[in-house]
Protein backbone atom coordinates (compact mmCIF):
# COMPACT_ATOMS: atom_id res chain seq x y z
CA UNK A 1 0.00 0.00 0.00
CA UNK A 2 1.35 3.39 -0.97
CA UNK A 3 0.68 6.03 1.65
CA UNK A 4 0.96 9.05 -0.60
CA UNK A 5 -1.18 8.11 -3.56
CA UNK A 6 -1.98 11.06 -5.81
CA UNK A 7 -5.12 10.93 -7.89
CA UNK A 8 -6.25 13.42 -10.50
CA UNK A 9 -9.74 12.47 -11.63
CA UNK A 10 -12.30 14.57 -9.76
CA UNK A 11 -12.72 17.15 -7.07
CA UNK A 12 -16.01 16.79 -5.24
CA UNK A 13 -17.77 19.44 -3.18
CA UNK A 14 -20.79 18.22 -1.21
CA UNK A 15 -22.87 20.98 0.33
CA UNK A 16 -25.77 20.37 2.72
CA UNK A 17 -27.85 23.48 2.00
CA UNK A 18 -31.43 24.66 2.11
CA UNK A 19 -32.49 25.17 -1.50
CA UNK A 20 -33.24 28.84 -0.84
CA UNK A 21 -29.47 29.29 -0.55
CA UNK A 22 -29.05 28.55 -4.24
CA UNK A 23 -30.59 31.75 -5.54
CA UNK A 24 -28.03 33.46 -7.71
CA UNK A 25 -25.80 30.45 -8.29
CA UNK A 26 -25.00 30.36 -11.97
CA UNK A 27 -26.75 33.68 -12.73
CA UNK A 28 -24.58 36.78 -12.34
CA UNK A 29 -21.45 34.70 -11.78
CA UNK A 30 -21.81 31.55 -13.88
CA UNK A 31 -19.72 28.57 -12.83
CA UNK A 32 -16.68 27.68 -14.90
CA UNK A 33 -17.16 24.91 -17.46
CA UNK A 34 -15.22 22.54 -15.23
CA UNK A 35 -17.74 22.98 -12.42
CA UNK A 36 -20.96 20.97 -12.40
CA UNK A 37 -23.53 21.83 -9.73
CA UNK A 38 -26.48 19.52 -9.14
CA UNK A 39 -29.17 19.02 -6.51
CA UNK A 40 -28.82 15.54 -5.00
CA UNK A 41 -31.76 15.79 -2.56
CA UNK A 42 -33.99 18.56 -1.13
CA UNK A 43 -31.23 19.64 1.24
CA UNK A 44 -28.00 18.98 -0.64
CA UNK A 45 -25.99 20.17 -3.59
CA UNK A 46 -23.09 18.36 -5.19
CA UNK A 47 -20.54 20.18 -7.31
CA UNK A 48 -17.91 18.30 -9.31
CA UNK A 49 -14.72 19.83 -10.62
CA UNK A 50 -13.90 17.83 -13.72
CA UNK A 51 -10.67 19.67 -14.42
CA UNK A 52 -9.26 20.84 -11.12
CA UNK A 53 -6.52 22.93 -12.71
CA UNK A 54 -9.13 25.32 -14.13
CA UNK A 55 -11.04 25.73 -10.86
CA UNK A 56 -9.75 28.44 -8.56
CA UNK A 57 -10.30 29.26 -4.89
CA UNK A 58 -12.93 31.84 -5.77
CA UNK A 59 -15.04 29.25 -7.61
CA UNK A 60 -15.42 27.32 -4.36
CA UNK A 61 -15.81 30.42 -2.21
CA UNK A 62 -18.83 31.44 -4.33
CA UNK A 63 -20.61 28.29 -3.18
CA UNK A 64 -20.15 29.02 0.52
CA UNK A 65 -23.14 30.06 2.56
CA UNK A 66 -23.90 30.56 6.29
CA UNK A 67 -25.99 27.35 6.27
CA UNK A 68 -23.22 25.18 4.85
CA UNK A 69 -22.85 22.00 6.91
CA UNK A 70 -20.56 19.74 4.86
CA UNK A 71 -17.72 20.45 2.47
CA UNK A 72 -15.59 17.82 0.77
CA UNK A 73 -12.67 18.67 -1.53
CA UNK A 74 -10.91 15.67 -3.03
CA UNK A 75 -7.53 16.04 -4.69
CA UNK A 76 -7.47 19.79 -4.20
CA UNK A 77 -3.70 20.14 -4.09
CA UNK A 78 -3.82 23.29 -6.25
CA UNK A 79 -6.07 25.22 -3.83
CA UNK A 80 -4.81 27.55 -1.09
CA UNK A 81 -5.47 28.64 2.48
CA UNK A 82 -8.14 30.98 1.12
CA UNK A 83 -10.59 28.08 1.38
CA UNK A 84 -10.06 27.68 5.12
CA UNK A 85 -10.10 31.40 5.80
CA UNK A 86 -13.34 31.82 3.84
CA UNK A 87 -14.98 28.93 5.68
CA UNK A 88 -14.11 30.59 8.98
CA UNK A 89 -15.69 33.82 7.80
CA UNK A 90 -18.82 32.54 6.03
CA UNK A 91 -19.64 29.07 7.38
CA UNK A 92 -19.83 29.26 11.16
CA UNK A 93 -22.02 26.15 11.41
CA UNK A 94 -19.82 23.82 9.39
CA UNK A 95 -19.84 20.32 10.88
CA UNK A 96 -17.91 18.20 8.37
CA UNK A 97 -14.79 19.00 6.34
CA UNK A 98 -12.77 16.74 4.07
CA UNK A 99 -9.56 17.93 2.41
CA UNK A 100 -7.87 15.09 0.55
CA UNK A 101 -4.48 15.80 -1.01
CA UNK A 102 -4.80 19.46 -0.07
CA UNK A 103 -1.59 21.42 -0.05
CA UNK A 104 -0.15 21.67 3.46
CA UNK A 105 -2.40 24.28 5.13
CA UNK A 106 -0.54 26.73 7.34
CA UNK A 107 -0.95 26.45 11.10
CA UNK A 108 -2.28 30.01 11.13
CA UNK A 109 -5.03 29.25 8.60
CA UNK A 110 -6.02 26.10 10.50
CA UNK A 111 -6.21 28.15 13.71
CA UNK A 112 -8.42 30.80 12.09
CA UNK A 113 -10.61 28.07 10.61
CA UNK A 114 -10.93 26.24 13.95
CA UNK A 115 -11.86 29.44 15.79
CA UNK A 116 -14.44 30.31 13.13
CA UNK A 117 -16.04 26.84 12.89
CA UNK A 118 -16.35 25.64 16.49
CA UNK A 119 -19.26 23.29 15.69
CA UNK A 120 -17.03 21.01 13.61
CA UNK A 121 -17.60 17.31 14.35
CA UNK A 122 -15.72 15.57 11.54
CA UNK A 123 -12.44 16.47 9.86
CA UNK A 124 -10.47 14.52 7.29
CA UNK A 125 -7.17 16.06 6.16
CA UNK A 126 -5.71 13.00 4.48
CA UNK A 127 -2.34 12.96 2.78
CA UNK A 128 -1.32 16.47 3.78
CA UNK A 129 2.14 15.20 4.55
CA UNK A 130 3.46 18.52 5.86
CA UNK A 131 0.64 19.09 8.34
CA UNK A 132 2.10 20.06 11.70
CA UNK A 133 1.19 19.17 15.29
CA UNK A 134 0.32 22.80 16.02
CA UNK A 135 -2.47 22.66 13.43
CA UNK A 136 -4.05 19.62 15.07
CA UNK A 137 -3.67 21.27 18.49
CA UNK A 138 -5.60 24.30 17.22
CA UNK A 139 -8.40 22.07 15.95
CA UNK A 140 -8.57 20.11 19.19
CA UNK A 141 -8.64 23.20 21.42
CA UNK A 142 -11.26 25.10 19.43
CA UNK A 143 -13.52 22.34 18.07
CA UNK A 144 -14.58 20.63 21.28
CA UNK A 145 -17.29 18.60 19.53
CA UNK A 146 -14.94 16.65 17.29
CA UNK A 147 -16.03 13.04 16.97
CA UNK A 148 -14.28 11.74 13.88
CA UNK A 149 -10.77 12.70 12.76
CA UNK A 150 -8.70 11.32 9.92
CA UNK A 151 -5.06 12.32 9.44
CA UNK A 152 -4.09 9.42 7.20
CA UNK A 153 -0.71 10.01 5.59
CA UNK A 154 0.10 13.18 7.54
CA UNK A 155 3.54 11.82 8.24
CA UNK A 156 4.93 14.85 10.10
CA UNK A 157 2.46 14.41 12.95
CA UNK A 158 3.77 13.09 16.25
CA UNK A 159 2.48 12.04 19.66
CA UNK A 160 1.93 15.73 20.42
CA UNK A 161 -1.01 15.82 17.99
CA UNK A 162 -2.55 12.66 19.44
CA UNK A 163 -2.22 13.96 22.99
CA UNK A 164 -3.82 17.30 22.07
CA UNK A 165 -6.81 15.47 20.63
CA UNK A 166 -7.03 13.12 23.61
CA UNK A 167 -7.03 15.98 26.11
CA UNK A 168 -9.35 18.41 24.34
CA UNK A 169 -11.80 16.56 22.07
CA UNK A 170 -13.96 14.82 24.65
CA UNK A 171 -16.39 12.95 22.38
CA UNK A 172 -14.04 11.17 19.98
CA UNK A 173 -15.50 8.09 18.31
CA UNK A 174 -13.25 7.49 15.31
CA UNK A 175 -9.53 8.27 14.96
CA UNK A 176 -7.10 7.59 12.12
CA UNK A 177 -3.38 8.27 12.31
CA UNK A 178 -2.57 5.73 9.60
CA UNK A 179 0.84 6.19 7.97
CA UNK A 180 1.85 8.65 10.69
CA UNK A 181 5.23 7.02 11.16
CA UNK A 182 6.34 9.22 14.06
CA UNK A 183 3.51 8.16 16.36
CA UNK A 184 4.60 5.95 19.28
CA UNK A 185 3.08 4.10 22.23
CA UNK A 186 3.19 7.30 24.31
CA UNK A 187 0.58 9.13 22.26
CA UNK A 188 -1.64 6.11 21.68
CA UNK A 189 -1.74 5.28 25.39
CA UNK A 190 -2.93 8.80 26.21
CA UNK A 191 -5.68 8.48 23.59
CA UNK A 192 -6.88 5.07 24.76
CA UNK A 193 -6.84 5.91 28.46
CA UNK A 194 -8.93 9.04 27.93
CA UNK A 195 -11.28 7.60 25.29
CA UNK A 196 -12.30 4.04 26.19
CA UNK A 197 -15.47 4.48 24.13
CA UNK A 198 -13.67 4.71 20.77
CA UNK A 199 -15.43 2.59 18.15
CA UNK A 200 -12.95 2.96 15.27
CA UNK A 201 -9.16 3.24 15.33
CA UNK A 202 -6.70 3.11 12.45
CA UNK A 203 -3.01 2.86 13.35
CA UNK A 204 -1.88 1.05 10.22
CA UNK A 205 1.74 1.52 9.20
CA UNK A 206 2.63 2.95 12.62
CA UNK A 207 5.62 0.65 12.81
CA UNK A 208 7.01 1.90 16.13
CA UNK A 209 4.06 0.59 18.15
CA UNK A 210 4.84 -2.19 20.62
CA UNK A 211 3.15 -4.47 23.15
CA UNK A 212 2.39 -1.37 25.28
CA UNK A 213 -0.12 -0.17 22.69
CA UNK A 214 -1.50 -3.65 22.04
CA UNK A 215 -2.01 -4.28 25.77
CA UNK A 216 -3.75 -0.91 26.10
CA UNK A 217 -6.07 -1.85 23.26
CA UNK A 218 -7.07 -4.95 25.16
CA UNK A 219 -7.52 -2.96 28.36
CA UNK A 220 -9.39 0.08 27.04
CA UNK A 221 -10.75 -0.98 23.64
CA UNK A 222 -13.80 -3.00 24.61
CA UNK A 223 -16.08 -0.74 22.53
CA UNK A 224 -14.03 -1.01 19.34
CA UNK A 225 -15.88 -2.15 16.24
CA UNK A 226 -13.26 -1.36 13.61
CA UNK A 227 -9.51 -1.71 14.17
CA UNK A 228 -6.66 -1.46 11.68
CA UNK A 229 -3.18 -2.54 12.79
CA UNK A 230 -1.87 -3.39 9.34
CA UNK A 231 1.92 -3.50 9.18
CA UNK A 232 2.28 -2.99 12.91
CA UNK A 233 5.01 -5.56 12.58
CA UNK A 234 5.63 -6.06 16.30
CA UNK A 235 2.17 -7.49 16.88
CA UNK A 236 2.47 -10.99 18.34
CA UNK A 237 0.05 -13.87 18.90
CA UNK A 238 -0.21 -13.09 22.61
CA UNK A 239 -1.16 -9.47 21.85
CA UNK A 240 -3.94 -10.41 19.43
CA UNK A 241 -5.23 -13.17 21.70
CA UNK A 242 -5.60 -10.70 24.57
CA UNK A 243 -7.23 -8.18 22.27
CA UNK A 244 -9.73 -10.76 20.99
CA UNK A 245 -10.73 -11.72 24.51
CA UNK A 246 -11.39 -8.15 25.58
CA UNK A 247 -12.85 -6.72 22.35
CA UNK A 248 -15.67 -9.13 21.49
CA UNK A 249 -17.61 -6.50 19.55
CA UNK A 250 -15.08 -6.23 16.71
CA UNK A 251 -16.73 -6.21 13.31
CA UNK A 252 -13.76 -5.24 11.15
CA UNK A 253 -10.14 -6.17 11.77
CA UNK A 254 -7.22 -5.46 9.47
CA UNK A 255 -3.88 -7.01 10.40
CA UNK A 256 -2.31 -7.15 6.96
CA UNK A 257 1.44 -7.57 7.01
CA UNK A 258 1.65 -8.57 10.68
CA UNK A 259 4.14 -11.26 9.79
CA UNK A 260 4.65 -12.75 13.26
CA UNK A 261 1.07 -13.92 13.68
CA UNK A 262 0.14 -17.60 13.47
CA UNK A 263 -3.04 -19.67 13.42
CA UNK A 264 -3.26 -19.46 17.22
CA UNK A 265 -4.10 -15.77 17.09
CA UNK A 266 -6.79 -16.30 14.46
CA UNK A 267 -8.36 -19.11 16.47
CA UNK A 268 -8.71 -16.68 19.40
CA UNK A 269 -10.57 -14.28 17.11
CA UNK A 270 -12.88 -17.07 15.99
CA UNK A 271 -13.68 -18.00 19.57
CA UNK A 272 -14.25 -14.49 20.90
CA UNK A 273 -15.21 -12.17 18.02
CA UNK A 274 -18.05 -14.02 16.34
CA UNK A 275 -19.52 -10.86 14.87
CA UNK A 276 -16.59 -10.23 12.53
CA UNK A 277 -17.71 -9.02 9.11
CA UNK A 278 -14.47 -7.96 7.42
CA UNK A 279 -11.04 -9.45 8.04
CA UNK A 280 -7.78 -8.61 6.28
CA UNK A 281 -4.91 -11.02 6.93
CA UNK A 282 -3.10 -10.47 3.63
CA UNK A 283 0.67 -10.91 3.82
CA UNK A 284 0.43 -12.76 7.14
CA UNK A 285 2.97 -15.32 6.03
CA UNK A 286 2.46 -17.96 8.73
CA UNK A 287 -1.29 -18.46 8.46
CA UNK A 288 -2.58 -21.76 7.09
CA UNK A 289 -5.79 -23.29 5.77
CA UNK A 290 -6.80 -24.20 9.32
CA UNK A 291 -7.16 -20.57 10.39
CA UNK A 292 -8.98 -19.50 7.24
CA UNK A 293 -11.50 -22.32 7.42
CA UNK A 294 -12.20 -21.51 11.07
CA UNK A 295 -12.94 -17.89 10.17
CA UNK A 296 -15.20 -18.85 7.29
CA UNK A 297 -17.25 -21.45 9.17
CA UNK A 298 -17.57 -19.88 12.62
CA UNK A 299 -17.87 -16.14 11.89
CA UNK A 300 -21.38 -16.26 10.44
CA UNK A 301 -21.49 -12.55 9.54
CA UNK A 302 -18.26 -12.61 7.55
CA UNK A 303 -18.60 -10.97 4.12
CA UNK A 304 -15.01 -9.95 3.23
CA UNK A 305 -11.78 -11.87 3.67
CA UNK A 306 -8.46 -10.68 2.27
CA UNK A 307 -5.90 -13.46 1.83
CA UNK A 308 -3.46 -12.06 -0.74
CA UNK A 309 0.17 -13.07 -0.37
CA UNK A 310 -0.46 -15.77 2.25
CA UNK A 311 1.74 -18.53 0.79
CA UNK A 312 0.55 -21.27 3.15
CA UNK A 313 -3.12 -20.83 2.27
CA UNK A 314 -3.99 -23.05 -0.66
CA UNK A 315 -6.14 -22.17 -3.69
CA UNK A 316 -8.23 -25.26 -2.96
CA UNK A 317 -9.38 -23.85 0.38
CA UNK A 318 -10.24 -20.51 -1.18
CA UNK A 319 -12.38 -22.31 -3.78
CA UNK A 320 -14.06 -24.39 -1.09
CA UNK A 321 -15.06 -21.29 0.88
CA UNK A 322 -16.36 -19.54 -2.24
CA UNK A 323 -18.45 -22.57 -3.19
CA UNK A 324 -19.87 -23.30 0.26
CA UNK A 325 -20.35 -19.70 1.36
CA UNK A 326 -20.64 -17.43 -1.71
CA UNK A 327 -21.54 -14.38 0.39
CA UNK A 328 -17.88 -14.15 1.48
CA UNK A 329 -15.87 -12.02 -0.91
CA UNK A 330 -12.34 -13.42 -0.98
CA UNK A 331 -9.59 -11.27 -2.45
Residue 58: predicted pLDDT: 86
Residue 66: predicted pLDDT: 86
Residue limits of CATH 3.80.10.10 in the chain: 184-331
Low-confidence ranges of the chain (pLDDT < 50): 1-28, 30-48
Residue 52: predicted pLDDT: 58
Residue 246: predicted pLDDT: 98
- For the entire predicted model, the pTM comes to 0.87
CB burial of 155-177 (b: ≥16 within 10 Å; e: otherwise) equals bbbbbbbbbbbbebbeebbbbbb
Residue 141: predicted pLDDT: 97
The SS3 call for residue 139 is helix
Whole-number percent of the chain with pLDDT over 70: 83
pLDDT digits (tens, 9 = 90+) for 48-61: 455 556 678 888 88
CB burial of 43-71 (b: ≥16 within 10 Å; e: otherwise) equals ebbebbbeebeebebebbeebbbebbbbb
Query: Which DSSP symbol is given to 29?
Result: B
pLDDT digits (tens, 9 = 90+) for 11-65: 344 444 333 333 334 344 544 444 444 444 333 444 445 555 667 888 888 878 8
Query: 184-331 architecture in CATH?
Result: Alpha-Beta Horseshoe (3.80)
**Dihedral sign (CA 213, 215, 221, 227):** positive
Residue 73: predicted pLDDT: 80
Amino acid sequence: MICFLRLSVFVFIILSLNLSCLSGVGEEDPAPEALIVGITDPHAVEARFMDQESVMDQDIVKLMHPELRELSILWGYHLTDTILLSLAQHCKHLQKLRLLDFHAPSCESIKVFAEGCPELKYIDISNCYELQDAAVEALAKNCKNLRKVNFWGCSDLTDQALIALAQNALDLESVSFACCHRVTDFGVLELLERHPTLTKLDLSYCRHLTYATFNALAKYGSKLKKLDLSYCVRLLDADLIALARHCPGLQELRIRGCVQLTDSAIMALVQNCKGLQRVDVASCLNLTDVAVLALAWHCKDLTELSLNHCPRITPAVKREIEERNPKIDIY
